Chains A and B, each alone.
Chain A
Amino acid sequence: MSVVCNLADERVLIEAAQQDPSRFAELYEKNFHRVYAFVARRVRDRDEAEDLTAEVFHEALRNLGRFQWRGAPFAAWLLRIAANTLADRRQRAARNGGISADDPADGEAVPSVQAEAESRAMLYQLVDRLPPDQRLVILRRFVDQKSSREIAQELGRSEGAIKQLQFRALETLRSKMRSHHE
């Protein structure tokens, strides 16, 4: 029942955004982490992941008027765009640099790939909901790749306190991810 309601809501959002592109922000909010998670797993670094994610959303916004509702989630359409964008980029890279363009996982947004992206997107959303000090430590540790000592110096706290915050944050994330899957 909830899935039906969600799909119905999503259809309303899509139609509203098709009439007024400024409403696209709601669809963006709901799907940002999905698209990013899908792309990030398939590229070499964070810069490339952000670049491709931006390309996907710009493309989606450009082609929103041509989107036709067929009952599938909007995320599936976005991930299809992402898969095509990745495939195009790989083909260009293959022509220029000689790497293999054959990567079925990139070319097809298959259900298992979507589920994996969904799981990672959930993790990223959970990071956003952490207490501010824990979230800051996680971002410094994994995005900026700083050591606990460097973070402690930057925030003016003890190294032990930073390690504790890190532990608590991972504990929370692991716990919520597990409960979500169950």
Chain B
Amino acid sequence: MNSVSIFDELDQAIDRLLADPDAATADVRSGIAELMEVVPDLRHLPRADFKTRLMVELEWQTQGRAISAAPAQPAHAAGSYQPGVDLLPTLSGNAKSLYPVRGANFAASVALHAAMFLFVSLGLVMVKSTSRVMEPRVTSAILIHPYIVAGDGGGGGGAGDKVGASKGKAPRFAREQFAPPAVTFIDPLPRLPLEATLIGPPELNVPQAQMGDPLSNLLTLSSGAGVSGIGSGRNNGVGPGDGSGRGPGSGGGTGGNIYPAGNGVSAPRAIYDPEPDYSDEARAAKYQGVVVLALVVRPDGRPTSLRVARSLGMGLDEKALEAVRTWRFEPGRKDGHPVAVQIEVEVDFRLY
């Protein structure tokens, strides 16, 4: 039998023994059987890296001191500490470890870590210093106009008089209006008298302490400067509105019920006031200033009827409106009850 057959026969015998450790090897030739004597013990050979791994573990167990087969060196190799001699042994290349460490590599590593730490710290500082770009705030809650109207209803009128409407009692409300309110009666004894009315539900009951335009302070009789009715408005109503009702607003009914802050009405207070964004255009131009918004805070705390009272431009008005629309207020109160209150809000855009 040639040598190739011996190799094959040994290989097959090993295959059988690996598959079944109890398999007999009696059927192989004597030369193979002799070689097979060592095979059972080889089955338990340790892994190639186990010895090294365990050595490293033992090194850790000796609290970081290297396990070395090299002859002992004086003091330093015995792990004794010499004050002031070598505070950073890795830097000086004298550290004891499993692998050699160059001092230059250790120094480079320290420098890189320091640079990284500095870079991250600078980033944090920059983010912190630019995070608050603008500071919008409610600087005042003041009345802009006593009869700026939100809501339905209201009306106005007048007779083209040179003076304002005289103070007096407003007419009652009716479904249809046959005669507009007027202060000056041309015919005191008409053949078919018609009572002046305002358009609105007849059951509408409003305070009627005065005749004529309730806001007028004039003592002389006048229907006011408006057109058809009493007051400065037009269209057969009373007041500054545009309709045949009473008060501000347009159409019939009564408008208003929006109070200025003060005189027993508390000012609303912002309780949720996210900051507006800066417009890209204004940021690029480093443009700063204050946008004043006029708005009504409803009894439920939501802002409504927003308008720009003082414009800044460069997209900042829109940004201010966009932000303030989302604000929520503690509503103003009158006699303990929340009421709609007209206020002004200053939104301050500043670049820091």
* Chain A residues packing against B (C-beta within 8 Å): 16, 19-26, 28-29, 32, 36-37, 40-41, 46, 49-50, 53-54, 57-58, 61-62, 120, 123-124, 127, 138-139, 141-143, 145, 147-148, 160, 163-164, 166-167, 170-171, 173-174, 177
Contacts and interface: CB of A to CB of B under 8 A. Distances in A.
B6 A127 contact: no
Contacts of B38: 123, 170, 173-174, 177
**Highest count of chain B CB atoms <10 Å: which of A23, A40, A46, A164:** A23
Interface in B45-79: 45-48, 50-51, 54-55, 57-59, 61-62, 65-69, 72, 77-79
A133 to B, nearest CB: 14
Interface string B7-19: 1101100110010
Contacts of A23: 67-68, 72
B146 to A, nearest CB: 90
Contacts of A29: 69
B187 interface: no
Contacts of B48: 139, 143
B52 to A, nearest CB: 10
A143 B47 contact: yes
A83 B48 CA distance: 24
A61 B58 contact: yes
5 contacts: A28-B58, A46-B44, A49-B44, A139-B48, A143-B46
Given A20-B79, A50-B50, A167-B7, A124 B61 contact: no
Given A25-B55, A173-B38, A166 B68 contact: no
A173 B67 CA distance: 30
Contacts of A21: 61-62, 65
A34 B4 CA distance: 36
A23 B73 CA distance: 11
B37 interface: yes
A22 B62 contact: yes
B41 interface: yes
Nearest to A165: B7
For chain B, give the interface size range: 35 or more
Given A124-B46, A139-B48, A166-B11, 13 more contacts: A16-B72, A20-B78, A21-B62, A22-B65, A22-B68, A22-B77, A23-B72, A24-B67, A25-B69, A32-B54, A46-B44, A49-B46, A166-B14
Interface of B: 4, 6-8, 10-11, 14-15, 18, 34-35, 37-39, 41-48, 50-51, 54-55, 57-59, 61-62, 65-69, 72, 77-79, 96
A112 to B, nearest CB: 16
B44 A127 contact: no
B50 to A, nearest CB: 5
Given A41-B44, A46-B44, A163 B37 contact: no
A61 B61 contact: yes
B201 to A, nearest CB: 90
A174 B41 CA distance: 12
B75 to A, nearest CB: 11
A167 B6 contact: yes
**Highest count of chain A CB atoms <10 Å: which of B4, B18, B38, B51:** B38
Contacts of A26: 69
Nearest to B36: A170
Contacts of B69: 25-26, 29
Contact of A25 (B7, B47, B68): B68
B42 A166 contact: no
A52 to B, nearest CB: 11
A145 B44 contact: no
Contacts of A41: 44
Nearest to A142: B42
A45 to B, nearest CB: 9
Nearest to A171: B35
Given A58-B58, A163-B11, A174-B34, A22 B42 contact: no
